[in-house]
Structure 1
């Protein structure tokens, strides 16, 4: 069942440290959820540190984020035309697609000054008419929360969680170091009162076999704090061939796709538990001159 036309769901994919599988999880989650809603992925990483430009190179169409000038009004067609890729996902005889907002320019182009405020990305996605917004974030969660606490600022993690109808996804490697970073992040999030109860935790395995004992213990501990804990198994085909458009979806194994569907179900279940079923209508941002202007919910009342 698709999301109601008036609904909007925001899923920031975050992690405590790099190498936790954020981009892979974002890609697989978008693939699993695109039959349910008109979907866009926002790539928040710097151009040369992001896999999305290479993953979408075969489907780039509109020049990406550089095609959205901050000094003139933007229409929905302008925003839609700027998507760097439309990924076609075959499901039996049917096709579906999702969009990616990334910097599609050549590697030697000057870096873009992208907005840090999550509300700006929310407004851009809302103006583009997408129902499901997946954000492939780049900031370390625990460090961001602690820095924000010491500086007296809200921080990116809190700002993402405060957007309307948000279900965070927290990624970690099921290794001793990965679990330690995850546990520290969970303690920080809990101490700051951030919404762990509607957060889905994903263990993104880097090798075959069962979850190690330290990861199973962590999953047991988190089962009473988080909305769900999902195990994304190691996929040798993804490791060998990546997630480029030309290699997707035949090189994604069945068990990986099943885990992605379980993750999608967990995200939807958390959204319905905390916000209602069906999801209520989302607030509509006012027309803005630029996608870099923050969303102001009060202005809509």
Structure 2
């Protein structure tokens, strides 16, 4: 999640999936509009049927869901991505907003670890929900079984201000900061600035962990179409630290080992009229 665009959400989701793939059957759910998402390019475009093959208002089998994914190779193992890889001129898909619908899709697909690359600005979402008296998307994602929010921000003065404002909004709404992991994505090489270090120190007392993601020139230049072997060692180390923090938060919050995840309720049986 993030409070604004350009916060390295998709990069963080990709690195998380790379590291989780060694331990669990993993899928990334791309929730961004197709023409604003990097995932179609990262996953090879239209090589897989994608979300267009999974109408949300019809029952789906596990085989149907698994055939729709694109597969990404990790340093160890591989993982799946569900995105919309159609041509740019295709009509936008009518996708559900409710996190429970995506949870049900992932459960039907049988994955053990699910990474949702969200697209909504969380602070605005929470404040708008408060003013309208309706539940927020952010709360709905946080309330899913065994959910660990990962909050991303640029490691700049502006990024820290936006992040701290978002954290205040989440705290005011009673959202689970104690199991939230914060990722600070560097925009250049070198040590984080004093502003970033001070903000990270303050945040570390309120959230489960703060992870610094270093600047990676290959990712900056080529996106994550780059081969896994080309990602810098220190970026891999940060990704491993991030996965460790996410799993520790999950175990501290829900138990170690994690209990079995709840199964969504099945659709009711429909009577088929005799012919």
Task: Please report the TM-score for the alignment, with normalisation by the length of structure 1.
Answer: 0.87
Aligned twin of 1:90: 75
2:143 maps to 1:157: no
Aligned twin of 2:239: 260
* Residue of structure 2 aligned with 1:225, choices 206, 210, 215: 206
| The structure with more strand, counted as a fraction of residues | 1
Q: Distance in 1 between matches of 2:101 and 2:11?
A: 24
Q: Distance in 2 between matches of 1:70 and 1:157?
A: 21
Aligned twin of 1:5: none
Describe the superposition over 1:22-65 as per-residue Cα deviations: whole angstroms up to 9, x where unpaired: 0000000110111111100000000000000001116x543100
Contact 1:61 1:81 in 2 (8 A): no
Q: Distance in 2 between matches of 1:71 and 1:15?
A: 29
- 1:12-91 superposed matches below 5 A: 14-57=1-44, 61-83=47-69, 85-91=70-76
Task: Please report the TM-score for the alignment, with normalisation by the length of structure 2.
Answer: 0.95
Q: Distance in 1 between matches of 2:202 and 2:255?
A: 26
Contact 2:18 2:75 in 1 (8 A): no
2:215 maps to 1:234: yes
Q: Distance in 2 between matches of 1:76 and 1:61?
A: 19
2:251 maps to 1:272: yes
Q: Distance in 1 between matches of 2:78 and 2:58?
A: 29
Q: Distance in 1 between matches of 2:240 and 2:204?
A: 19
Please list every run of 5 or more consecutive structure 1 residues that lacks an aligned counterpart in the other structure: 1-13, 290-301
Give the secondary structure class of the aligned counterpart of 2:78: strand
The count of aligned residue pairs is 268
Contact 1:173 1:205 in 2 (8 A): yes
Q: CA deviation at 1:99?
A: 0.5
Contact 2:99 2:141 in 1 (8 A): yes
Please list every run of 5 or more consecutive structure 2 residues that lacks an aligned counterpart in the other structure: 269-275
| The structure with more helix, counted as a fraction of residues | 2
User: RMSD in angstroms over aligned alpha carbons?
Assistant: 1.2
Q: CA deviation at 1:71?
A: 4.8
Aligned twin of 2:148: 167
Quickly say closer, same or farther: Cα 1:89–1:193, change in 2 above 3 A. same
Describe the superposition over 1:124-156 as per-residue Cα deviations: whole angstroms up to 9, x where unpaired: 000000011100001011100000000011111
Q: Distance in 2 between matches of 1:61 and 1:77?
A: 17
Contact 1:88 1:98 in 2 (8 A): yes
Q: CA deviation at 1:90?
A: 3.1
